[in-house]
Structure 1
Amino acid sequence: MSRITKDQLQGFAKVYNEQGKAELYNKLKNNYEVKNPACIFRRMKAEETLGFDEALNKFTFHKPIAEDVFLSFDELCAPRQELVQVNQTAVESTKTVAMEKLIQELIGDKLLAISRYVNMNVSDRTIIIDRTSLQNDGYQIIAH
């Protein structure tokens, strides 16, 4: 398996937007021999330049923030405009959305860690726990 670069992530984002998640995962498994394509997808969602929009379930391809840092000569010489006051409720709503996203990502990471040790079969009503791996990784098992 070769290392996936940031340039390749943009191509994968286009595949995701046009053909969907299943096709992206198939491409990663077959062409790039990626065993866990969910990790690549998580990396794509974290990439700021790709700009994943949860509501649209698509990548929006933002330009890097560093390009907007400096003012042009025309902007510097333009007459001063009054400052627009930001609505406090809009700021609070974006904070809550960001917090919800963070919580979902943390829960997803914990469930992924648990899935290494626990396998649950709903149809047979059985739970298989790999005790040796748990104990080797430093966990204690306490049964009630």
Structure 2
Amino acid sequence: TRTVVDGDGTPVKPFPAWLGELGHRAVADTLGPDAVPDAPYDIALINFYDGDARMGMHRDSDEKSDAPVVSLSLGDSCVFRFGNTRTRAKPYTDVDLRSGDLFVFGGPSRLAYHGVPRVQPGTAPQGLGLTGRLNVTLRVSGL
């Protein structure tokens, strides 16, 4: 959308070029240069999780692009549940994500179900000045 849907309804701010470059570098470093999308990253979803927050199993499937998803974690650590492409149920793998971790998924795993069953309160680096967890998910819209 062109406005902040679950916020104050103001126009969405321009996408920062440095954030798109971070997405391209993350894909190149994890999946190789051939996996870097030709199109720029142009969506950044930002979710805040307090100590009790959860995110159910879901897929990032609203885009018209199959470019890899890049997820950046800041603040408290969490358990990130990475599943399969068929169902929200098992099999899945739980991964501990700490502040500064990037998680990249593309190719056959691009539409894998994933979620956050647990945040680990009080684990953010002290110098960050953040209580809770911020997740920045980068995607290519394909629009």
Please confirm whether the aligned pair reaches a TM-score higher than 0.5, indicating the same fold: no
Q: TM-score range by the shorter chain?
A: under 0.3
Structure with the bigger percentage of strand: 2
Could you state the TM-score of these two structures normalised by the residue count of structure 1? 0.22
Larger relative contact order (C-alpha < 8 A, sep ≥ 6)?
2
**Which structure has the bigger radius of gyration?**
1
Could you state the TM-score of these two structures normalised by the residue count of structure 2? 0.22
